[in-house]
Amino acid sequence: MQDETKLQQVTSKFAVGVTRQIKSSLDKPGIAKQFVPTEQELISKPSELHDPIGDHTYSPIKGIIHRYPDRCLLHPVKVCAVYCRFCFRRETVGKQNTSLTADELENCYEYIRNHPEIWEVILSGGDPLVLSPAKLQQIISKLDQIEHVAVIRLHTRVPIVDSKRINLDLLAVLKQRKPVYMALHMNHPDEFTEPAIAAISQLADAGVVLIGQTVLLRGVNDSTEILGKLFRKMVQHRIKPYYLHHLDRAEGTSHFRTSIETGQKIMAELRGSYSGLCLPEYVLDIPGGAGKSPIGPCYLSKKSSIYEVTNYQGKQFTYNDSD
Ligand code: SF4
């Protein structure tokens, strides 16, 4: 039984919200734990950060995060269809007046135009698919007109949590001149509900390239069996598992955090038993903003020109690289 007063403190500190579709699945623990607030969110650890991946440091203007040379994030809205209890941007999403005005959006396009090294623009969280198809059309066609932007990527939960939004109007918007990639945030196989599967299928049929991003969460998916099932379902439904994120150190999320050792063990077990198509890269966003690094198990060590390489069964072999 949760303490009502403490829960109120949680809801006044962090955004809370689910769609009708998710509400009807809250009897499934793998879904409920991701969206139902608990008083554990009031526990703050010294290592937790207000801005865990250093977005602020890499934001040259409002709405843009430019951390890596060839790509930047554009945040047209800071609103989501659902609010994940472990969100790495929980200090900024779901607050009032954080969406970009028309002028601010123009500034963002201008920034991108003035940076020819930007090859990819990522529309990200908040969730860009909460925008109307007409608004999204405006943004995507502006990006489409910038010669050096070759790829547009959207990061979203909407097809899974509010699947009816994937309609013909939206699909028409996504069929632009430039390739559109969509990263679907999914953490548990139970998220493959009938409406979600239908939405995924429509997107894939429309030519949107689907990739999956998953957060490793204690008590939700920290087992080889659950993640293996999730990644297989993704591949069966034309989503390539892309990243398994080690949980960022956002405030009040320690109850979801696993150790890196746990994540590596799961990745090693997955490699032994599941098709390579089902294997995402296990990554850590270095706290403070230094970027993502792969942190999966290492299969290679070196002694002079001889390598020792471990196979999927844990057996070791030598490989001479000097010939
Ligand atoms: S959808 Fe993404 S940005 Fe929105 S609450 Fe969930 S993790 Fe955060």
Q: Extract the runs of DSSP E, i.e. beta strands, from 16-167.
A: 64-68, 71-74, 120-123, 151-156
Residue at 253 is within a domain: yes
Q: In what order do the strands lie in the sheet with 120-123?
A: 64-68, 71-74, 120-123, 151-156, 180-185, 209-215, 239-245, 281-286, 291-294
Cite the active site residues.
67-68, 71, 80, 84, 87, 89, 248, 285, 292
87 lines ligand 1 (CB under 6 A): yes
Cα–ligand 1 centroid distance for 253 (angstroms): 13
Residue 112: which domain range? 4-297
Q: Can you read off the two tokens belonging to residue 237?
A: 């439904």
Determine which residue's CA is closest to atom 8 belonging to ligand 1: 87
CATH (domain of 13): 3.20.20.70
Mutation test of ligand 1: which of 33, 84, 217, 247 has the most ligand atoms closer than 8 Å to its C-beta? Answer: 84
Q: Could you give the CA distance from residue 216 to residue 244 in angstroms, rounded to a whole number?
A: 6
Minimal-distance CA residue to ligand 1 atom 3? 125
Q: Is 127 in the pocket of ligand 1 (CB under 6 A)?
A: yes
Q: Which residue has the tokens 């609103």?
A: 79
The confidence score (pLDDT) of residue 323 equals 76
- Which residue's entry shows tokens 């994540």? 263
Look at strands 291-294 and 151-156 and give their pairing. unpaired
Q: Report yes or no on 302 lying in a domain.
A: no
How many CA atoms lie less than 13 Å away from 205 in the CB half-sphere?
Answer: 10
Beta bridge partners of 122: 73, 153
Q: Which of 235, 183, 230 is nearest to 211 (CA)?
A: 183
Helix (H) / strand (E) element for 11: namely helix 4-13
Using DSSP bridges, classify how beta strands 180-185 and 209-215 pair: parallel, antiparallel or unpaired. parallel
Would the CB of 84 count as within 6 Å of ligand 1?
Answer: yes
Nearest CA to ligand 1 atom 6: 84
Q: Tell me what pLDDT residue 267 has.
A: 97
Which phi and psi angles does 112 have, rounded to 5°? -65, -40
- Count of domains for the chain: 1
Q: Residues 282, 244: contact at Cβ < 8 Å?
A: yes
In a domain, 20, yes or no: yes
CA of 156 from ligand 1 middle (Å) equals: 8
* 164: in domain: yes
Tell me the three state secondary structure of residue 230: helix
Low-confidence ranges of the chain (pLDDT < 50): none
In a domain, 272, yes or no: yes
Residue 59: predicted pLDDT: 95
| Cβ of residue 93 lying under 6 Å from some atom of ligand 1 | yes
Asked whether residue 322 is assigned to any structural domain, the reply reads no
pLDDT in tens, 164-211: 999 999 999 998 778 999 999 999 999 999 999 999 999 999 999 999
Tell me whether residue 220 is in a domain: yes
Which residue is closest in CA terms to ligand 1's atom 7? 87
Evaluate whether 251 touches 222 at the Cβ level (below 8 Å). Answer: no
Could you tell me if residue 323 is inside a domain? Answer: no
pLDDT one-digit tens code per residue, 228-251: 999 999 999 999 999 999 999 999
